[in-house]
Amino acid sequence: MPVGQIVKAISGFYYVRSPEGEEIQCRARGVFKFKKKKLTPLVGDYVQYEMTGPGEGFVTSVEPRQTELLRPPIANVDQAVVVCSLREPEFQQMPVDRFLVHGERAGLDLVICLTKRDLVDDDSEVERIRAIYQTAGYPVIATSIRTQVGIDELKKYLAERTSVFAGQSGVGKSSLLNQLLPDRKLQTGAVSQKLGRGRHTTRQVELIPLGNGGQVADTPGFSQLTFQGFEPEELSDCFPEMRERSARCRFRGCLHLNEPGCAVKEAVENQEIHAGRYNNYLQFLTEIKEEQQRRY
């Protein structure tokens, strides 16, 4: 039975790209079997399928996943490109850090892409943001679709990779993808001046091939990512700059709050870890504990 990849899912139909590049519209055969296993096919899944007619078929099984994200819902991506704007709306660190945490937990490589570089006068804002993520080791690319700054650099990161583009609404994900996919124009939306954020223009997750051997996923914008299912002890492992230092903490399972001999807090005090990243860690830790209290 042939194996293809789900590239789009709409209203109960799964659009499967065959090994020959044909897009086949499929239903899920034995859908109740999927539900019993609590397995819902996702965009990015490799699936076995059975042809029932020209361009039509049934998905019969889902192959084991290498990676999985629940929001945005997508499987088998190698890399997440976290898109955030420098202006309109202003750069916001907390939502970026939220997605980085979820990407780390899913085992993805991560790239931060700043958009609308043409709206800032110099590189000081870009360098300020780079300094935040320097000790975490995340690449930070500043781009502009108007001046083409950074577009070629971004393409190098996307080559031969399956990447998910994610970020808040209005930061320019679809506009950026339009630069990478000139033959395919995705809908874009203006940023609300009153609210300072954009409208959702992407309605579903879709996996789109690039010309450099890679493929990218355009996803609906997100406003919040929760930490449901997280344990407090695992959060610092999702901050690379903390993960490499926590082994030197005096106590095993250190939460980096008020424990003596905490290597992470020492690094924050010595400005080796950015204070804003640490403060967001504390906020996320509080949310995890509150979610645990609701659970029990």
36 marked as binding residue:
no
35 marked as binding residue:
no
CA separation, residue 186 to residues 180, 183, 218, 223 (Å) = 11, 10, 9, 20
37 marked as binding residue:
no
Check residue 145 and report its DSSP letter.
T
What is the rounded CA–CA span in Å between residue 92 and residue 104? Answer: 19
82 marked as binding residue:
no
Cβ(264)–Cβ(249) under 8 Å? yes
84 marked as binding residue:
no
Structure token digits, residue 277: 């990243």
118 marked as binding residue:
yes
Largest interatomic CA distance in the chain = 68
117 marked as binding residue:
yes
135 marked as binding residue:
no
253 marked as binding residue:
no
Structure token digits, residue 182: 């000139």
CA 5 distance to own-chain centroid = 19
Q: Which of 112, 124, 188, 100 is nearest to 150 (CA)?
A: 112
163 marked as binding residue:
no
185 marked as binding residue:
no
167 marked as binding residue:
yes
What is the rounded CA–CA span in Å between residue 2 and residue 13? Answer: 18
Which one-letter amino acid corresponds to residue 8? K
256 marked as binding residue:
yes
169 marked as binding residue:
yes
170 marked as binding residue:
yes
Q: Which of 110, 72, 119, 122 is nearest to 91 (CA)?
A: 119
171 marked as binding residue:
yes
26 marked as binding residue:
no
Q: Which residues are annotated as a binding site?
A: 115-118, 167-175, 249, 254, 256, 262
Binding residues for GTP: 115-118, 167-175
- Binding residue ranges for Zn(2+): 249, 254, 256, 262
